[in-house]
Structures are given as structure tokens and as C-alpha cells.
Structure 1
Amino acid sequence: MTGPAQGVPHRHSGLDRGISAPRFATFEHAAGGDPGLARDLYVWNRDLSVAFLADIAILEVALRNAIHDAATAAWGAHWYSDPTVVLDDRSTRQLSTAWASLPDSVKRRAQDPDVPGRLVAQCMFGFWTNLLDAGGHVGKPPRRIAADYDALWHAALKHAFPGGRIEARTERRRILADPTGDRTAAAETTFTRRWVHGVCKNVNDLRNRVAHHEPLIHGLPLNGRHRRMSSEEAHRQCLMLARMIDRDLAAWLDTQSSVPSTLMARPRQTALESGPTSPS
């Protein structure tokens, strides 16, 4: 078995007390019942989560700035208060939560030029991801209407992803070149609001999982899609989103990310510890 991640000994009473039995069981199962390997995997999972969070810290700011800039070009810096920009109830709630977090001194001067930047900084990754969804409804019956996010996409938001078209084309070719590739998925891999939303949602699901310290040893479940995404695929999705926004940023992130090296350092049982192999 490889040495414990970051030099932390396997057996440490403080670490053991800090992990609940149900949570530790996930790692014991992955370790084949070896408690030492399970502890190493637990610490390695922490390191992988930190590595992903470091990448997403850069990517999240880039995403919100790209969408804000695209919206500003179409509707002005205070685009979120433009009556022609119809947001559904979910987006409105998220925006209101962000607004409520601003100091009263800022909210009293809502039309000042620095306020949009302050508000944007308070909006979570999910808000920007949801702006790329199909759009829900706004209001209550009998004045309940549909918010058309395809209209927002075509009017402005698609311009936040200048590399989106080439990324969709490259991804489609990758899927088709894979003998096990999903032909239906390949056909749907085009530069559309729906496809870009899917990529952003994958990264947002990853962000939420690592932020809540959930295990990554078996990848991560994708909310509402009844499948899992491996950690390797999650890293690829992060870089794909970065390339859609800014290829130079993606190149920098690719060289700076510690995710690949952390994935390679996953603790495993040695051949000796896992028992003799059967003769060929």
C-alpha cells in the first residue's frame, strides 16, 4: 500500500473520532475492508477535493464574469433589473438572496456603477448555471408566465462562450471516435444553450459535492440524471468549460491544476498485500 497521503499516519485517534462510522464505511468498502487503506483513501479524498476546489475557484469567477459581461453588452451593467430580462422564480430568488447579502449602504445606491460588480460577486455558481437552463415560470396564477431563457441565450449569453462551437465539435468527434461512444449524445453535442448548460451543470454538481466533503472515490452522481461521472471525466469537463470561456485561461489551468497528479497518487493495495495472483 502506498504511504498515507500528505504524511498523515493511518492510525490517529483524532482522525478516527472525527469520521462517523457510516461515512467511514464508504472508504472501508472501497479499501476491501483494510482500515489502514481506508484512512489513506479518506485523506486522499480530501486532497482531491481541495485540488478540484482550487480549479473551480478560478473557473467560477471566469464564468460569472463572462456571463455578466455578455449580459452587460446587451442590456447594460444593471441588466438584472432590466424589465425586458425576464427571470424565472428560481433565478429571481437566487438573485434576491445575493442582493440581501450586500451592505445596506450599497443597496441604498442601487444605480451606482460599482453595484453590479458587487452583486455579481455574491451570486453562486448555481445562479449562472441556471441562467443557461430552459427557464421556468415567474409569478403566480392567473399571472404566471414562462421565462424564455432561449431568448436570453440568443440575445446575449451565448457570447459568454466564444470557444463553445469548437469545443462542441471536438467533443462530438471524440464521442464518435470511441467504439463505445453514445451516438445519441454525439448528435446532441452541438453549441446550444442546452449543451452548454449540461457542461456547466456537471461542474456545478462537482463543486457542490466537494464543497460538502462528499466522497469522490467512485466519482460523483449527477443530479437528476441517474448516472455517475468519474473524477477524471469531471476534470475534463472543467477544462472544457474553461476552453469555452477563454482558451488562454484553460491552458493556464491545465498547467496549474493538481488534480491529475492527485488522481495518480490514489492509495492502493500493493500486489503483495492483495495476495498471490493466480498462475497464468
Structure 2
Amino acid sequence: MTSNNRSERIHDLEAWFSPARMSTYNYHPDPEALYLWNTQITKAFLEDIQHVEVLLRNRVDVAVSPKYGARWYTNPRIPFDQQAKNSIKKAERRARGSTGQVPPPGRVIAELNFDFWAYLFTNTYTSTIWPPFRKTLHGTPLDVTEKNKNRVSLPSLVDFKREVNVVYRLRNRCAHHEPIVKKSRHSEESHLDEAQQALDQSNFKFTWISPSAVEVTLTAATSPGTGPPQ
């Protein structure tokens, strides 16, 4: 790409995506290729993250419904804050569509976004959502000794929230089309390795929810295309 062509291309890209967004990529000889490479990476991560999100929301629904009803998200005994209430209203509206009828619970559950699910694991819901949810989790086996033989360790709310946050932060960065690439190839590879390790660690921790689910996930982000532009 000649200097003139490169300048013209950068001008076009800035017009399409804004100078602020493209400033991350303009150092590269082929900023368009780098932008597309970043897109490939984020989409690969999102493919994995969506499995975790669906697994999480379905487990919450299964755990909470017996105590608070199929439409637990409308139960006044759960102290939903205003942000959660707004999310629920939006989900019900989207699930209802143009029918005007009360949507089935499963459809509303599917419409609630990851923000809603992530914030369920805060102190606000420590006496409502968390206890029945925790009872459904699979424990991590303790080191075998005579004293703790056949015992397992269930996560605390703090521990579980920490793992949810790993996925939540990565999901937000990818979903909002934020840059993951770095100027240095070494820094980029190191950064991507850290991101993948964080997701893998969370997937391991999500064995608390469903050990078998981990076995069928989550390799897409290790091979997001043909490689970064040179």
C-alpha cells in the first residue's frame, strides 16, 4: 500500500468508524487489516462467552423458580434494584413483541442481558438469589485426607462473583468492539494469552455449574482466523 493510498484509506476508515476509534490501528502499515483482525479475535471470544452466559442464566432460573415461581423476576420478595427492574421491563417488552400477551417465562429469561445476570451475584441478593443457586452448584473436591474424605468445597458468593466478573469484563470489551490488539506483536500475544487464560479459568470454575458442559466448549478463541496482519 503506497503512502498516498494508505492516507486515503485511513481517511475513509476514520470517516466510517471515527478518528478516535481508528487511532488504535493507524500505526500499522495496513490499519484496515488490523481492524479486521481485532474483529476476528473479539468474535471468537464472544462465541465462547455466549456458552457461559446461557449456562449461567439457565441455572439461575432452575435454582430460583421452585422458591419464587416461574416468573421469579417479578416476585416482590426479591429486592431487585431499579436497574434490574428496568432490565426486566425491557426484556418483557421485547419478549411480548406485537402480540400484547404476557410472554412465557423462558422467553423473558432469554431476553435478559448479561448485565442483569452478573449483578445478581452481589450482596443485594445474598439472602434471596444466592442461597438456592448455591445449593445447585457442584463442589470442588478437597484434597483427600482422612478428615475430609469425600468432601467438597462450594464457592462463596465472593468467589463466584469474581469468576463471573472475569467473563463479564471480557464480554463487554468484545461486545462493544473495543480493541484487544496491541502495537507490539509480543505484547499482543501476551495480552491474548492472558485473556484466553482468564476465560479458560472461568470455564474451569464454571464446573461449579455443570462439569459436563465444560467438556464441550470453548476452543474457538484459540484459533481466531489465520493470524494477525504482518
User: 2 CA distance for matches of 1:99 and 1:248?
Assistant: 31
1:64-104 deviation line (CA, Å, top 9, x unaligned): 11111111132221222223222222211211221222326
User: 2 CA distance for matches of 1:67 and 1:94?
Assistant: 16
1:135-167 deviation line (CA, Å, top 9, x unaligned): 2xxxxxxxxxxxxx110244312245x23x429
Matched position secondary structure for 1:35: coil
Q: Partner residue of 2:147?
A: none
Matched position secondary structure for 2:78: coil
1:149-192 deviation line (CA, Å, top 9, x unaligned): 110244312245x23x429x79xxxxxxxxxxxxxxxxxxx711
User: 1 CA distance for matches of 2:86 and 2:102?
Assistant: 21
State the percentage of identical aligned residues.
Answer: 26
Is residue 13–residue 22 contact of structure 2 (8 Å, CA) maintained in 1?
no
Given residue 107 of structure 2, which amino acid in structure 1 is its aligned partner?
Answer: R
Q: Structure 1 residue 14: deviation in Å?
A: 6.3
Q: Partner residue of 2:140?
A: 166
Given residue 166 of structure 1, which amino acid in structure 2 is its aligned partner?
Answer: T
Give 5+ residue unaligned stretches, structure 1: 1-9, 136-148, 171-189, 219-228, 269-280
Is residue 84–residue 116 contact of structure 2 (8 Å, CA) maintained in 1?
yes
Q: Partner residue of 2:127?
A: 151
Is residue 51–residue 258 contact of structure 1 (8 Å, CA) maintained in 2?
yes
Q: Partner residue of 2:20?
A: 22
Map 1:15-164 → 2, pairs under 5 A:
17-19=12-14, 20-28=18-26, 33-36=27-30, 38-103=31-96, 108-109=101-102, 115-135=104-124, 149-160=125-136, 162-163=137-138
In the superposition, the TM-score normalised over structure 1's length comes to 0.61
User: 2 CA distance for matches of 1:47 and 1:233?
Assistant: 18
Is residue 64–residue 72 contact of structure 2 (8 Å, CA) maintained in 1?
yes
Q: Partner residue of 2:200?
A: 236
In the superposition, the TM-score normalised over structure 2's length comes to 0.73
Q: Structure 1 residue 241: deviation in Å?
A: 4.9
- Structure 1 residues 11, 121: CA separation in 2 closer, same or farther (over 3 Å shift)? same
Give 5+ residue unaligned stretches, structure 2: 144-153, 183-192
Aligned length: 204
How large is the Cα RMSD of the aligned pairs?
3.3
User: 1 CA distance for matches of 2:32 and 2:110?
Assistant: 37
* Alignment counterpart, residue 247 of structure 1, candidates 208, 211, 217: 211
Is residue 235–residue 259 contact of structure 1 (8 Å, CA) maintained in 2?
no
User: 1 CA distance for matches of 2:88 and 2:205?
Assistant: 23
- Structure 1 residues 105, 25: CA separation in 2 closer, same or farther (over 3 Å shift)? closer
Is residue 60–residue 125 contact of structure 1 (8 Å, CA) maintained in 2?
yes
User: 1 CA distance for matches of 2:40 and 2:209?
Assistant: 27
- Structure 1 residues 153, 25: CA separation in 2 closer, same or farther (over 3 Å shift)? same
The question of 1:260 aligning with 2:212 is answered no
Q: Structure 1 residue 63: deviation in Å?
A: 1.3
Is residue 203–residue 237 contact of structure 1 (8 Å, CA) maintained in 2?
no
Matched position secondary structure for 1:18: helix
User: 1 CA distance for matches of 2:20 and 2:60?
Assistant: 41
Is residue 34–residue 229 contact of structure 2 (8 Å, CA) maintained in 1?
yes
Matched position secondary structure for 2:178: coil
